A and B are shown apart, each in its own frame.
Chain A
Amino acid sequence: MSQSYNRGLIEDFGRWKEFSAGMWAWIFHKFTGWMLIGYLFTHIAVLSSAIAAADGQTMMLAGEQVDAYTGTLQGLESLFIVRVLEVGLLAVAVFHILNGIRLLMVDLGVGLTAQDKSFYASLVLTGVITVASVPTFMAGVGL
């Protein structure tokens, strides 16, 4: 064979038209997984302000002197964007859990024929839980 043409990953994926339930589930699972890992680091960073607080560091919040941990948390919680991100985090976590259960079932060979339905069900359930959580997450936020 003299020569051949390698379309490369990007070009190949660019041609894709038919995304199936299983593939979307896979993409969402990866995506939410990475989001959760990212969140863990943020979480650790915020929690580490407890060390500063234990060292006696304080900060000013709304004219009050509070310890570093309380100040950081209260400061973040007062931001609208943080509340929105929290709702997003819940959605990401719920989907990851539900799809994780779905994958476990697939691995065990249970309900293989309903793999697409269970994916859609995970999506719907995630949506419902997320919407239901909005009032709780948004309570008392200063816009």
Chain B
Amino acid sequence: MSTQQQEPESQESPQDPEMKGTESPQQRRLKEKEEGMVDEHAEEEAEAAGETVHIKVFRYDPEVADKQEPRFDDFHVPFEKGMTVLDAVMYARDEFDSSLTFRHSCRQAVCGSDAFFVNGSQMLGCKTQLSELEQPVRIEPLPHQEVVKDLVVDMDHFYDQMHAVEPYFQDEDTPAASDLEEQRQSPENREKIKMSSRCIWCGACMSSCNIAAGDNEYLGPAAINKAYKFAMDDRESEEIKEHRLRILEQEHGVWRCQTQFSCTEVCPKDIPLTEHIQELKREAVKKNLKFW
């Protein structure tokens, strides 16, 4: 197992100057986490005592005849201080079963490829400390998405929804290449869309949303948040904003959100998703409200 340990939490600490002002649900969640868990001392002791962590990993392999029936495999991974869920499954793969399959890349909560369903909740494997979890740690693929193999789910539908909101900057009045100038954004506007721009396309929010689970056409929290980022960006023209709102106010757009807050609670980047969806609902109403 790699000795390199990153501290993904530090990036997201509640003291983050980006997150001043009133306490968001995410901040509160982080605070609770910091207060209640990760007891450094206990971690060191566990490590010194040579303890192992018991993980139960969901297994499914369509290509091997006797592995087509989903099951859970148990692994006992030697505990190391600061070990994350991802570290544990990597150890299990490297030392015990090389066929164990999962996605990962950056190992620092940036690439969004290792969202798992750990102990009944969606989280990023590389951002979740094993010491915070109850044992045995159940590691499963994201719910409501088809399982391709072991912890790997089919993300096509999620990406389709993300692309459906045209997630790229559009401006009709983009200056001609010859007289290109900077497209400046006001600090206030930057502040407004900052959180929404943090999405790493991990799909945890979509997987946690019961509405999305019941309605395959629902754009879902991540896609709506992506649309929010652009719709609220002052540099796009009014017409484009209208066009974006038209996409969002469709039957399977923002109105499908029933404010369960599950997405907001699981988002590893602490994006206030429900808040953004509600704001877009209000924008859509404002656009259509006529007093005559």
Chain A residues at the B interface, C-beta cutoff of 8 Å? 1-7, 9, 12, 15-18, 20-23, 25-26, 103, 106-109, 112-113, 115-116
Contacts and interface: CB of A to CB of B under 8 A. Distances in A.
Contacts of B121: 17-18
A49 to B, nearest CB: 38
Given A1-B154, A12-B213, A26-B210, A112 B62 contact: no
A114 to B, nearest CB: 9
Contacts of A116: 25, 261
Contacts, number: 90
Contacts of A23: 210, 260-262
B62 A3 contact: yes
8 contacts: A2-B63, A15-B117, A15-B140, A106-B274, A107-B278, A112-B274, A113-B24, A113-B25
Contacts of A9: 144, 213-214
B195 interface: no
A5 B60 contact: yes
B77 interface: no
Interface in B1-46: 22-25, 28
Nearest to A16: B120
B114 interface: no
Interface of B: 22-25, 28, 60, 62-63, 70, 117, 119-121, 140, 143-144, 146-148, 154, 210, 213-214, 258-262, 264-265, 272, 274-275, 278-279, 281-282
A109 B278 contact: yes
A112 B275 contact: yes
Contact of A26 (B22, B154, B260, B279): B260
A6 B60 CA distance: 11
A64 to B, nearest CB: 51
B25 A115 contact: yes
Given A20-B265, A106-B278, A113 B22 contact: yes
A9 B154 CA distance: 16
Contacts of B282: 107-109
B118 to A, nearest CB: 10
Contact of B146 (A5, A16, A103): A5
Contact of A4 (B25, B148, B261): B148
A112 B21 CA distance: 14
Given A2-B63, A109-B275, A113-B24, A22 B259 contact: yes
B143 to A, nearest CB: 4
B278 A17 contact: no
Nearest to B274: A112
B213 A18 contact: no
Nearest to A30: B258
Given A17-B119, A17-B120, A5 B260 contact: no
What 8 A-B pairs have minimum CB-CB distances, sorted nearest first? A17-B120, A22-B261, A3-B62, A12-B143, A4-B146, A18-B121, A5-B147, A22-B260
Nearest to A106: B259
B62 A4 contact: yes
Contacts of B22: 113
B231 to A, nearest CB: 16
Contacts of B146: 4-7
A15 B265 CA distance: 17
Contacts of A18: 119-121
Given A26-B259, A106-B278, A112-B275, A5 B62 contact: yes
A75 B264 CA distance: 51
Contacts of B214: 9
A110 to B, nearest CB: 10
B262 A20 contact: yes
Nearest to B265: A20
Given A4-B62, A5-B62, A109 B259 contact: no
Given A5-B70, A112-B274, A26 B60 contact: no
A112 B119 contact: no
B148 A107 contact: no
Contact of B147 (A2, A7, A20): A7
